[in-house]
Chain A
Amino acid sequence: MQLIECPWCGPREEVEFHYGGQAHVAHPENPADLDDEQWAHYLFFRDNPKGLFAERWSHSAGCRRWFNAVRDTVTYRFHTVYRPGEPRPQEGPVPS
């Protein structure tokens, strides 16, 4: 089982976490202005890259806070984690 680094609690076992899908999907600023196609894309369409992916995780069995991570969808390795509101870091491994 892999360890995931919670930005507040430190490394914890994977089973303590809940996956939340793609990160940085912003709610439309003016929802009434969206047509059906734009709404569909906001609701249903997400990136699905083979490689690095910025996504949301929740430390649901710990501090219960949400955070973001850049993870490789092929190796499943977490490259970096960061708190909500922080910009997505440069791609690549976490400096140790």
Chain B
Amino acid sequence: MPEHPDFLWRNPDPQKAYDVVIVGGGGHGLATAHYLAKNHGITNVAVLEKGWLAGGNMARNTTLIRSNYLWDESAGIYEHSLKLWEGLEEDLGYPILFSQRGVLNLAHTLQDVRDSVRRVEANRLNGIDAEWVEPDEVKKLCPIVNTSDDIRYPVLGATYQPRAGIAKHDYVAWGFARRASAAGIDLIQDCEVVDFLREGNRVVGVRTTRGDIACGKVALASAGSTSVLTDKLGLRVPIQSHPLQALVSELLEPVHPTIVMSNAVHVYVSQAHKGELVMGAGVDSYNGYGQRGAFHIIERQMAAAVELFPVFARAHLLRTWGGIVDVTPDASPIVGKTPYDNVYLNCGWGTGGFKATPGVGWTFAHTIAHDEPHTYNAPFTLDRFVTGRLVDEHGAAAVAH
């Protein structure tokens, strides 16, 4: 593991007023702050975090990065993000352990195969690296996958995106935070927004547990807690918050050279740099804010993992945890303007927000700076639920929302 630099970020008290207040000091909020400074020269900015920086979903995700989404709209923003990931260490001047080890999305039925091949072709049309691989090639890419044909859900092949990968989530957050802080942006922890100060169609300030803070613009980037904030604004958003669980094994020798995901048996696995197997599945069905979920979800996940990877049968589970993800009806995010003149919304990433971190930071900063959507987030408006222009991405999300 790389050594940390002496300086990470300042820990200032809040000032009376800022040009922009970002609510939520997770990956998305910090990336937005970084690109506001870097791309737009806007540095009179505060990032307000109710807990500690990047202690919510950023600390609880499974760190997978890929862009093999079906629809053009999703491919646009996730591929923009992947390209930024590829240059992020240089941009941040900070190690993030970005490892492009590729992702296999397994197909287990004939219909899976057809849908997968369709997604590969759609990816290629969008300039995204993707290929269809047969079971023997799956075995070459990840030798521990069980490709025998006598299991309940045999592996009939997979889509493969070689540029997909993982990164060290904490380092990503700290890299963005360090750059934003150095640019003059105040990162304020232990500062919960409890209400908004409104004048007509504008929000002129936020009421926080550390006092009132006036602001020119407000950007919400608070993942699972978005509804709690939008309810205070009288703004209804079509999201439901669910617990999404993940877990890690004890440290193992390197055995798992890529990322493997399976929608049908429902597990995804990668091996972290230190050696833990990092696993996740879909969300718990019910709404929840408790940052934990039901144990039977983990049991099912383990059963799927052991069927796909018999070698894991005797591995020990070390830790499980839950993040709170906000899920939209079309499994796509909501990024952009709101009915308020100066309030911007970034939410609804469901189970897939980590991979979007630099991409959404870039486009959300553009939206805030110019008061208009960036090309890549323009399709993800709040009003698509009224106009019907949904980006129905359940299939390529590869995780049951």
Task: Give the CA-CA distance A2 to B294 in the complex, in Å.
Answer: 8
Pair A36/B386 contact, Cβ less than 8 Å? yes
Interface centre among B225, B227, B240, B286 (most CB of A within 10 A): B286
Whether A59 sits at the interface, judged by CB under 8 Å, is no
Chain A residues closer than 8 Å to B286, beta-carbon distance: 19, 55, 71, 73, 76
CB proximity to A under 8 Å, residues B231-257: 231, 236-241
Partner of A1, one of B228, B238, B295: B295
* Distance from B1 Cβ to chain A, minimum over Cβ atoms (Å): 35
Contacts of A2 in B (CB 8 A): 294
Q: Does A67 contact B (CB under 8 A)?
A: no
Interface centre among A19, A45, A53, A73 (most CB of B within 10 A): A73
Contacts of B290 in A (CB 8 A): 73-76
| A40 at interface by CB-CB < 8 Å | yes
Q: Once bound together, how far apart are the Cα atoms of A44 and B386, in whole Å?
A: 9
A23 to B17, CA, bound (A): 42
Quick check: is B288 within 8 A (CB to CB) of the other chain?
Answer: yes
B384 nearest in chain A by CB position:
A40
A1-26 CB mask vs B (1 if < 8 Å, else 0) is: 11000000000001100110100000
- The residues of B that contact A40 with a CB separation of less than 8 Å are 238, 385-386
Which B residue sits closest to A37, measured CB to CB? B386
A50 at the interface (CB under 8 A from B): yes
Q: Check B227–A50 contact: CB distance below 8 A.
A: yes
Residue in contact with A55 in the complex, picked from B287, B326, B329, B388, CB distance below 8 Å: B287
Complex contacts, B287 vs chain A, CB 8 Å? 48, 53, 55, 73
Contact yes or no, A48 B239, CB < 8 A: yes
Which chain B residue shows the least CB distance to A39?
B386
B385 adjacent to A48 (CB under 8 Å): no
* Chain A residues positioned under 8 Å from B385 (CB to CB): 40, 43-45
Q: How far does the Cβ of B192 sit from chain A's closest Cβ, in whole Å?
A: 13
Residues on B with C-beta less than 8 A from A43 are: 329, 385
Q: Is A64 an interface residue (CB 8 A)?
A: no
Are B227 and A48 neighbours in the complex by a CB distance under 8 Å? yes
Tell me whether B309 is interfacial, beta carbon within 8 Å: no
Please, could you name 25 A-B residue pairs with CB atoms under 8 Å apart, sorted by A? Answer: A1-B295, A1-B296, A2-B294, A14-B294, A14-B296, A18-B285, A19-B286, A40-B386, A43-B385, A44-B329, A45-B236, A45-B238, A45-B385, A46-B238, A48-B240, A50-B225, A50-B228, A50-B241, A50-B289, A71-B286, A73-B286, A73-B288, A73-B289, A74-B289, A75-B290
Closest 5 A/B residue pairs (Cβ): A48-B227, A19-B285, A44-B238, A40-B386, A44-B385
Contact residues of B with A, CB < 8 Å? 225, 227-228, 231, 236-241, 285-290, 294-296, 326, 329, 385-388
Question: With A21-B240, A74-B289 given, can you name 14 additional A-B contacts, CB distance below 8 Å?
Answer: A14-B296, A15-B296, A19-B286, A36-B387, A37-B386, A40-B386, A44-B385, A48-B227, A50-B227, A55-B286, A55-B287, A71-B286, A73-B289, A75-B290
- Which residue numbers of A lie inside 8 Å of B, CB to CB? 1-2, 14-15, 18-19, 21, 36-37, 40-41, 43-46, 48-50, 53, 55, 71, 73-76
